[in-house]
Amino acid sequence: MNINHNFETITEGKVYKSGVIPPDEIESYVKKYHIKSIVDLRMPGTNDLALNPEKIGEIQAEKNAVAKIKGVNYFSNPSEQVPNDKNIEVFAEIMDNTANYPVLIHCYHGTGRAEMYSALYRIEYEGFTNEAARQGVRTLVKFSSFDDGTPKGEYLKAYKSRTELAIGKQ
């Protein structure tokens, strides 16, 4: 039993990540970590039930629980394990707004999509290299879904930050 829901500090006082937190427990995390925004990456209806077992009713229960907590934003950004350009755009809009911090990024398990977006946060907002961000998503990158040759590992290695893309356009 995972009591902390894979909750982890990415950057103290700014960004946290987790798996699903039951609706009756969300408020305690929000208060303890002063969370102002929750970014939910769950994507029901995919054919990959092992990685995406979420159900629409669970997502609605979370939205309802968050709506009862004064001053907390709930953002839905349904994402596959490897984000598409629209996911990145939505994520950047949320993270660019300093009023949204501290932010909790979560998916179902807290070990795939939440890890991916935490790495992207570190690249975009903290100047991490792609490799440092990729290495930072797991204690052991080897034999994980972020390893060399895996879709997530290769995506992070090839990811171009907005700064890199802007320089490339000049």
C-beta separation of 37 from 94 below 8 A: yes
CATH number at residue 46: 3.90.190.10
Residue count (the chain): 170
Total tally of structural domains belonging to the chain: 1
* Beta-strand runs (E) in the chain: 8-11, 15-18, 37-40, 73-76, 103-106
Q: Is residue 150 part of a domain?
A: yes
Buried b (16+ CB within 10 A) or exposed e, 49-86: eebbebeeebbeebeebbeebeebbbbebbbbbbbeee
pLDDT tens digits for range 3-12: 688 899 999 9
Q: Is residue 2 part of a domain?
A: no
Q: Is residue 1 part of a domain?
A: no
C-beta separation of 47 from 137 below 8 A: no
pLDDT tens digits for range 130-169: 999 988 876 544 567 888 888 999 999 999 998 888 887 7
Whole domain around residue 127: which residue ranges?
8-169
pLDDT tens digits for range 32-80: 999 999 999 998 765 555 556 666 778 888 999 999 999 999 999 999 8
Q: Is residue 147 part of a domain?
A: yes
pTM, full prediction: 0.89
